[in-house]
Structure formats: C-alpha cells, structure tokens
Amino acid sequence: MTPRTPTLTQFIMEKEHAVAAATGEFTFLMSAIALSTKLISREVNKAGLVEILGLTGDRNVQGEQVQKLDLFANDTMVRTLARSGTVCVMGSEEVADPIPVNPPYTCGKYVVVFDPLDGSSNIDVGAPIGTIFSIYRRRSPDGPGQAMDLLRPGREQVAAGYVIYGSSTIFVYSTGEGVHSFTLDPSLGEFLLTDEGLRIPEQTRIYSINDANAPWWPAWVSRWVAGMRDGVGKGRYTARYIGSLVADFHRNLLRGGVYAYPADTRDPALPNGKLRLLYEAAPLAFLARGAGGHATDGHRDILDIVPDSLHQRTALFIGNREEVEAAVACHGEETGRGPADDR
Ligand code: AHM
Ligand code: MG
C-alpha cells in the first residue's frame, strides 16, 4: 500500500463529500457491510481447518457453538447492520421473512437485502464463494421498515455490490456511477482500491451456463447457446462455469463474458429458474449496467421487474450487452415477445 491508495472507507467518504446533502450515513452503512465481510472472510479462510484441528463437535476452542458457514455469514450481516443504526429493515436469503431492526438499535434510512454466502455448494471444496448486497433508501416514512421498503424494482437501488472470497477477498460496489473494486490486505485488515471505473470488455468469447440442464431448456435458449458454441460469425467461444454466481460474474466483469441461468422445466416447483431476483439478480444487474453490460430475464430488463415476494426467482442472462441482447432476440423470435413486454 502507498499513501496514495485509498481504503474503501476513504474512497466512499471522498465520493460522499462531493454530495452536498450527504450526512455520512451511507459511508457508515458501507463500513458495516465491509466489517461483516471481513469477519466472514476470516471464517471462510478457517473453514477447512475445523476438521484438521479436531473441532468436529458442536463447540469450538472458545466453547462457542460451531455454526454452519452460511448461518454464521447471515448472523454476522444481520447483527452488524442492525448495530450500525443505518438500516430500518433487511432481507436475507437465509431468513423467510423481513428482518426488523429492534431496540436497542435505532432505525436508519436504508434498506439492505443480501445473500450472505452465495455458492454454498462450493463451501466444502475451497472454490470461491461470495456475499451479494443491495441497498435501497427506505420508502416508509419512519419507524420500523416494512415490506414496501423491500419489494422494489432494481432500478431504485442506491448501491449494490458483492464480496468474493477466493484467492483474495475482493469487494466490488457501485452507486450507479462506475463500478469499483478493492482487495483486502489481511495484514492491515483494510480493503484497498484495486480498480476504479471497471468496464466489461466489449468483446468476449466466454459463456457460463450449467450445460447439464440443457435437456430442460426452452428451444430458444438451446439456439442461443448453440450460436455461441458454433461461433457463428464471431469465432469459437469457451465455457467457464464455477457454479458460484459471484465468481462467474466477477470473472466475466474482468474478462468479458455472459452468465445465464435460464428458466427450465427440470423442477416444476421452480418455473422461473433457480436464482433470486432481489439479492442475486438485481444487485448484479445494477453492477452490470454500471460497467456497460446488461441483464435480462429473456425479455425484461432485470432492473425493471417489480417483485411480488422477497424470495422471488427469476431467469437471468447477464454480462456483455451484445450476448445478452442476442439472448433477447432468440427469445423474441420464438415467442413473439419484445424486450419490454410484461414489465
Ligand atoms: P445458492 O444461493 O444456494 O448458493 O445457489 C445459487 C448458486 C449460484 O451461485 C450459482 O451460479 C448457481 O447456484 C449454481 O447452480 P447449479 O448448481 O444448479 O448450476
Ligand atoms: Mg444464493
């Protein structure tokens, strides 16, 4: 680190100073998210040691209950955000209902929705996993936050981001003006600016999709993927699929690429695919747009979808604009639906 390299908090404060009406509450909220993710990162890095150190019982060396990592991540986010005094209600993948902020903690003006640890199938195999968050300004006038504060189209986000726990821990966020990344320096315990104003490279040869679901895809998805696989007009593509949305999205953000989890007919209980709108698709769509990319469910911009429920699922095609628009075109050819239908 040189004195010229800002920490995440310094960087956010500098940006917030430029906004005349800013009170510092947003900086405080982001610091609370950053603190949570540092605690989660530390725990993720220890995950493989639990067995080696013989801590397979349900208590650790301090006599504390050993928690599953995704529940630890959830508790850490909930407690740290509640304590920050900047949030009036939260939504989490791990919790069925909205999470209120109760006394002694005070309600703030923000609403945060998050997936505390995404890519859970990768936890036990040392592959990258991540935390995804989405921030809105509250809509209800005061007091505890309500459902109306949570069920919002992605376009109303004031900020979104993710943290990837991989070969290093990387924090990526946007407030709509540029996408910025920071890398955790473990010796300092600080996220340091790595890249300001990230843009998805315009040309790509990478697609990320779970090909094993192909028998259940609609025909237009198969045609879209075949177009890339056959490289018609653009040359051959290559497939990269980690099975961890944050990691697949992050690679595609840096290298160019498109990630897709279409709706399919494999599981009748999941007619809209597997991924969640509010804390997986919408925040990443906000980041994709900030980096010059695009996200759709096949015909609607992800940022335009108004959720009916906290855990609503959606099909997702996200990344390079050209590849995402090719998916929308394939969908339109088959269904006759235009990109803006059914908003
Ligand atoms: P999770 O929230 O249970 O971890 O599920 C979401 C994950 C995404 O990170 C990933 O892209 C996708 O599920 C992988 O699903 P699949 O194993 O069906 O390909
Ligand atoms: Mg998830």
**How far is residue 158 from each of residues 107, 192, 211, 334, measured CA to CA in Å?**
18, 22, 34, 35
Distance separating alpha carbons of residues 190 and 329, to the nearest angstrom: 44
Q: What is the pLDDT of residue 291?
A: 98
Distance separating alpha carbons of residues 209 and 249, to the nearest angstrom: 11
- Check if the beta carbon of residue 231 is closer than 8 Å to that of residue 181: no
Does residue 243's CB lie within 6 angstroms of at least one atom of ligand 1?
A: yes
Closest C-alpha among 195, 153, 150, 149 to residue 172: 195
Ligand 1: which of 115, 121, 267 to mutate, judged by most atoms within 8 Å of the beta carbon?
121
The model's pTM: 0.92
* The pair of three-digit structure tokens given for residue 132, joined into one six-digit string: 């995804």
* The pair of three-digit structure tokens given for residue 22, joined into one six-digit string: 């800013």
Angle subtended by helix axes 282-290 and 245-255, to nearest 10? 10
Ligand 1: which of 120, 274, 318 to mutate, judged by most atoms within 8 Å of the beta carbon?
274
Does residue 210's CB lie within 6 angstroms of at least one atom of ligand 1?
A: yes
Distance separating alpha carbons of residues 224 and 140, to the nearest angstrom: 42
Does residue 244's CB lie within 6 angstroms of at least one atom of ligand 1?
A: yes
| CA-proximal residue: ligand 1, atom 18 (nearest) | 210
Using the atom order of ligand 1, give the atom closest to the CA of residue 118.
4
Using the atom order of ligand 1, give the atom closest to the CA of residue 93.
2
Using the atom order of ligand 1, give the atom closest to the CA of residue 122.
4
Ligand 1: which of 208, 245, 264, 266 to mutate, judged by most atoms within 8 Å of the beta carbon?
245
Residue with tokens 């982001």: 30
Using the atom order of ligand 1, give the atom closest to the CA of residue 130.
9
Among the bound ligands, name the one nearest to the CA of residue 213. Answer: 1
For 187-210, the three-class secondary structure string (H helix, E strand, C coil) is CCCEEEEEECCCCCCCCCCEEECC
Domains of the chain: 8-195 (3.30.540.10), 206-335 (3.40.190.80)
* The pair of three-digit structure tokens given for residue 182, joined into one six-digit string: 């920071």
- Digits of tens for pLDDT over the chain (343 positions)? 556 799 999 999 988 877 767 788 999 999 999 999 999 999 988 876 665 443 444 554 444 445 588 889 999 999 999 999 999 999 999 999 999 999 999 999 999 999 999 987 888 788 899 999 999 999 998 888 988 999 999 999 999 999 999 999 999 999 998 999 999 999 999 999 999 999 999 888 899 999 999 999 999 999 999 999 887 667 778 999 999 999 999 999 999 999 999 999 999 999 999 999 999 999 999 999 999 999 999 999 999 999 999 999 999 999 999 999 999 999 999 887 766 554 4
* The pair of three-digit structure tokens given for residue 173, joined into one six-digit string: 């966020």
- Check if the beta carbon of residue 288 is closer than 8 Å to that of residue 200: yes
Residue 337 alpha carbon to ligand 2 centre in Å: 29
| CA-proximal residue: ligand 1, atom 14 (nearest) | 243
Distance separating alpha carbons of residues 132 and 161, to the nearest angstrom: 6
Does residue 92's CB lie within 6 angstroms of at least one atom of ligand 1?
A: no
Contacts of 169 (CB under 8 A, 6+ apart): 37, 38, 41, 163, 183, 184, 186, 191
Does residue 274's CB lie within 6 angstroms of at least one atom of ligand 1?
A: yes
Dihedral sign (CA 322, 328, 333, 334): positive
Residue with tokens 């653009």: 234
In sequence order, the β-bridge partners of residue 161 are 133, 173
| CA-proximal residue: ligand 1, atom 6 (nearest) | 119
85 sits in the region (left: phi over 0; alpha: psi -120 to 50; else beta) called: left
Measured torsion, CA atoms of residues 90, 93, 95, 98, in degrees rounded to the nearest 10: 30
* The pair of three-digit structure tokens given for residue 65, joined into one six-digit string: 């209950």
| DSSP state, residue 101 | -
Q: What is the pLDDT of residue 48?
A: 66
Q: How many CB atoms lie within 10 A of CB 202?
A: 11
| DSSP state, residue 279 | I
Among the bound ligands, name the one nearest to the CA of residue 114. Answer: 2
Distance separating alpha carbons of residues 206 and 13, to the nearest angstrom: 36
Does residue 119's CB lie within 6 angstroms of at least one atom of ligand 1?
A: yes
Which three-class secondary structure state does DSSP give residue 236? Answer: coil
- Check if the beta carbon of residue 257 is closer than 8 Å to that of residue 204: yes
